[in-house]
Amino acid sequence: MYLKGSFTDIYGNTITVEILTGKDSEETIEIGSSDNADVFFAADPVEINSELNDSFDVLLPHSATISLLSKKYLPQLFSASVWDAVVNIRRGDELLFAGYIEPQAYEQDFNSLYDEISLSCIDLLSALQYSNYAHIGEAGILYDVVKAEADTRTWLSLLNEIIYEQAVGLDIHALLGGEATSPRILYDLSKSLPAGLPADLFFKVSIAELLFLDDDEDGVWTMEETLIALLKYFNLHILQQGMDFYIFDWQTIRQKSALQSNGTDGQKITHWIDLITNDTTQTQSATLTLTADIVEGTDGSITVPETFNQLLLTCSVESIEDLIESPLDDDMLTSPFSNKQKYMIEYSAEGNGVSAIDCFRALLLDDPTGYDAATTTHHFIQIYQHPSWRFPIDGSATDDWYSKYANGSANQHAMLQALKRK
């Protein structure tokens, strides 16, 4: 079902509401199309709210409430899955809100000719709580298969799967065959790796998927938990505005940094990079002056609690689980080489006198010696691999020590020689 309608706000802006259920527009309903229409907007048709609690929140989601009057039963608005019903709210051509109807929350009374319907809508950041990592549990996606194929993933590939691939289906115009608005994942360049570009943070930092899969299917992380863990590691936050997702540090917003500049009017300009296309863009801060025409009332109160609270915790350890396996765990190590390889021979003749020197010379020339403190030690090596660990060469995203030096059936010494040159 395709439900669409528009109204004019007090500032003369045209606000358009679109709802598409099941990606099917065969049945189209125009809101308020005539005096005898089945569906109208209520007195307060749309309300968009920020769900920010404090500056420690990693995800800064938005919610929307759409209020309608309907004399028609609309079962299509009941969503069994969060992805079933897409919602777009536009002001003119600007996409203000892109999200979904909250699943299993729709109610419709039958008390009068026109019943009031209140649709609770959530953006993509909130919708991630309803989906497991890698969509495990959804049709055709099995836990055992995903775990068997688990690998090491870069942050960018995880962001691409969690945000970009889902956001592609948020634009109703594109779903109906119109011009598509591509999602953007914008980063404020506030954090970087040592001696690297800021964007390298997402291209070169990797993490093992097994962390999100736990020991069984009941312990699989949600998409929301995965995204929070990734961004919290570097104290980053994410905000959705329409089809744009902004990843930033609060310090970038609060104060000027080397990655910012001033506009012609003195306002701060923040520079961003699109992690998907590598295109750059910029935003300019704005100062809002409270005037009578934008103030609803003159009464108000402000409560300022303590910014930080001291917590005293007493903990007792009941069990310990290894979230990250040791790369030296003997039970997990495997080797592509069937035997050890002789790497070097060590000759030693302990002592300070001429006898020790003569003995050392005899050892090198393979001559017999009766010196009691003379020893010959043979050193052997064998290359092993841990399936959950990868050691990149010079920060490379593709080359690692094991794949480069442990593919053949001989020459195990090549890796040690390369490490010696480092």
Q: Kindly state whether residues 215 and 116 are assigned to the same domain.
A: no
In a domain, 335, yes or no: no
Q: Each residue of 328-344: pLDDT tens digit? A: 888 888 888 878 888 88
Q: Pick 394 or 58 by higher pLDDT.
A: 58
In a domain, 317, yes or no: no
Q: Pick 332 or 142 by higher pLDDT.
A: 142
141 pLDDT higher than 50: yes
Q: Kindly state whether residues 280 and 223 are assigned to the same domain.
A: yes
Kindly report the three-state secondary structure assignment for every residue of the chain. CEEEEEEECCCCCEEEEEEEECCCCCCEEECCCCCCCCEEEEEEEEEEEECCCCCCCCEECEEEEEEEEECCCCHHHCCCCCCCEEEEEEECCEEEEEEEECCCCCCCCCCCCCEEEEEEEEEHHHHHHHCEHHHCCCCCCCHHHHHHCCCEEEHHHHHHHHHHHHHHHHCHHHHCCCCCCCCEEEECCCCCCCCCCCCHHHHHCEEECHHHHCCCHHHCCEHHHHHHHHHHCCCCEEEEECCEEEEECHHHHHCCCCCEEECCCCCEEEEEEECCCCCEEEEECCCCCCCHHHCCCCCCCCCCCCCCCCCCCCCCCCCCCCCCCCCCCCCCCECCCCCCEEEEEEEEECCCCHHHHHHHHHHHCCCCCCCCCEEEEEEEECCCECCCCCCECCCCCCCEHHHHHCCCCCCCHHHHHHHHHC
CB atoms within 10 A of CB 81: 13
β-strand partners of 375 = 348
Indicate the residue among 108, 128, 148 that finishes a domain: 128
Indicate the residue among 82, 100, 128 that finishes a domain: 128
Residues 214-228 have a mean pLDDT of 94
Per-residue pLDDT at 258: 44
Mean pLDDT value across the chain: 85
Q: Kindly state whether residues 30 and 105 are assigned to the same domain.
A: yes
38 pLDDT higher than 50: yes
Indicate the residue among 287, 310, 327 that finishes a domain: 287
Residue 129 CA to residue 125 CA, distance in Å, equals 8
Tell me the residue range of the domain where 235 lies.
Answer: 131-287
How many domains are there within the chain? Answer: 3
Q: Kindly state whether residues 141 and 280 are assigned to the same domain.
A: yes
Per-residue pLDDT at 264: 55
Q: Kindly state whether residues 180 and 76 are assigned to the same domain.
A: no
Residue 95 CA to residue 88 CA, distance in Å, equals 7
111 pLDDT higher than 70: no
Q: Kindly state whether residues 84 and 38 are assigned to the same domain.
A: yes
Q: Kindly state whether residues 101 and 204 are assigned to the same domain.
A: no
In a domain, 293, yes or no: no
Per-residue pLDDT at 293: 66
Residue 335 CA to residue 342 CA, distance in Å, equals 16
CB 226 within 8 A of CB 158: yes
Q: Which pLDDT band holds residue 369 (cuts at 50, 70, 90)?
A: confident
Percent of the chain with pLDDT over 70: 87
Q: Kindly state whether residues 365 and 275 are assigned to the same domain.
A: no
Per-residue pLDDT at 263: 54
Q: Pick 255 or 53 by higher pLDDT.
A: 53
89 pLDDT higher than 90: yes
In a domain, 295, yes or no: no
Nearest to 68 by CA among 44, 40, 89, 109: 40
In a domain, 53, yes or no: yes
304 pLDDT higher than 70: no
Q: Kindly state whether residues 283 and 145 are assigned to the same domain.
A: yes
pTM score, whole prediction: 0.67
Q: Kindly state whether residues 100 and 136 are assigned to the same domain.
A: no
In a domain, 39, yes or no: yes
Tokens 């050890």, located at residue: 340
Q: Kindly state whether residues 108 and 225 are assigned to the same domain.
A: no
Residues 116-145 have a mean pLDDT of 93
Residues 379-391 have a mean pLDDT of 84
Pick from 70-79, 194-203, 209-218: least confident: 194-203
In a domain, 206, yes or no: yes
Residues 84-112 have a mean pLDDT of 86
In a domain, 178, yes or no: yes
Q: Kindly state whether residues 12 and 118 are assigned to the same domain.
A: yes
Nearest to 259 by CA among 199, 203, 190, 187: 190
